[in-house]
Amino acid sequence: MHGRKGEIMRRTALVALVTIVLVGALVAPALGATGGTAIKDGVLMYSTGHYLDGTPLMLGFDPYGYNYQARMFSGSYANVYLGRDGFPPYMGDDAAYLAANPTVETHWAWQYRSIDLVMKWNDAWLSNKDRDDDGLLDRHYGFPSYIGSGAWETNHMRGVDDGKRWTYFVKIVAAPADAVSSAGMWYSADGTEIGPVIWGSFATIMEVESGMGATYVSPFGPGFGKF
């Protein structure tokens, strides 16, 4: 793909690949019985296989860029995946990182290491507590799935292509309980277009591209309060 449309499609594809790492925990049930186990309790752990396996989740930003307490990520796009696949955090020095971790070159996310990514999400998307004692930070707590949960996330990417700086911003929401999916698009109960389907249960409600402004705005509305 070439040109501005190709760039937008590529960045949209990158967003489709971004997932918030689900971390495991070793939880004392008694803590969860009193309103949920919090990160500050010191018993919620990084999941098995993670580079930080066996260490408690950090209250602030961890070396990869995750701040589970504040429900956000800020760092290299590659770091979204490297930790869970057993690699240490990438800190910007290619030569040093490759010397210590030569196999990372075969990891699909390595090619995106120079993209800066900021993600923010709400409690329904990924909570900072475990209230159901399953050893994991809660997702769509109180709902059987993300549908109708009110979950939302934003992604803001920044990078350089051919010497030119670019930014890309997107808002994503869980589809309402009465929404209908048809031909890759979510629609409200009254037939109003909500946005393109992403990750099955979610809809893109806004995209903004540097130099072009908003390239998509949901006719249903781009505000999170509507969901």
Q: What is the pLDDT of residues 95-123, one digit of tens each?
A: 999 999 999 999 999 999 999 999 999 99
Give CA–CA dist 191/69, Å, rounded. 37
Closest CA to 201 of 168, 172, 225, 169: 172
Calculate mean pLDDT across residues 193-198: 96
Average pLDDT, the chain: 89
In the prediction, which pLDDT does 14 show? Answer: 76
Q: What does the pLDDT read at residue 8?
A: 62
Dihedral sign from CA coordinates of 181, 153, 149, 29: positive
CB 6 within 8 Å of CB 14: no
**What is the Cα–Cα distance from 222 to 217, expressed in whole angstroms?**
6
pLDDT digits (tens, 9 = 90+) for 6-42: 566 666 667 877 777 655 544 444 444 457 999 999 9
Mean of pLDDT values over 110-139: 94
Ranges 33-37, 71-75, 87-91, 97-101: which has the least confidence: 33-37
**Cβ(45)–Cβ(66) below 8 Å:** no
- Per-residue pLDDT at 180 exceeds 70: yes
Q: Is the dihedral of CA 73, 76, 77, 78 positive or negative?
A: negative
Residue 193: is its pLDDT beyond 90? yes
- Whether the pLDDT of residue 59 is over 60: the answer is yes
Query: Would you say 57 and 23 are in contact if contact means Cβ atoms under 8 Å apart?
Result: yes
Percent of the chain past pLDDT 70, that is, above it, reads 88
* Torsional sign, CA 216, 217, 220, 221: positive
Q: Which residue has the higher pLDDT, 203 or 21?
A: 203
**DSSP secondary structure of 65-104:** SEETTTTEEEEETTHHHHGGGTPPPP-S-HHHHHHH-GGG
Backbone dihedral angles phi then psi of residue 78, each to the nearest 5 degrees: -60, -30
Q: Examine the pLDDT at 215 and tell me if it is beyond 60.
A: yes
- Confidence (pLDDT) at 135: 78
CA of residue 202 relative to chain centroid, distance: 12
Site of tokens 């409690």? 123
Residue 27: per-residue pLDDT: 42
- 127 three-class SS: coil
